[in-house]
A and B are shown apart, each in its own frame.
Chain A
């Protein structure tokens, strides 16, 4: 079965704290994974994809095939990082996790 699991509905941290948003996937093929972010009252937008191995807004995500995970990390959270974060798996369609709301308090 093709599935994306984001176990945390809500993650709350203080500004400057490290953040890790968890994502696990289930897929028999070679996965292509993405993180999307939706800020309040804005459209969903692509944050990063594992293929490009990039760091966007200080966020990174490493694909771990052994653990079938693609956790999103940032060493020092900022208040403007508060948003909904969706992990997604591309097969013949884009499958989203249920999302994690990140709240960063001052």
Chain B
């Protein structure tokens, strides 16, 4: 089955700086890549997603890039704010049959 690896496991940045989280996947059939933000005591919330026919997608301060050849995708958060502090998960899916999650990145934004 699919294997998703996520790095780093923890990340601290100063407020206003950028944060980058990287994921790799193993199955070239994966075609949908969502990113989730999980705050303490809550369920993961979708923040952005990308499909395999697109190389990059942006939504305000958040962007995701996908390199299908190298089988990796990244989350970029610019102008970080304290409320961005949370655990972020990447995921890969083959036609929505099942979603495979990375092991999470705990992001801390230092005011």
Q: Do A and B bind each other?
A: no
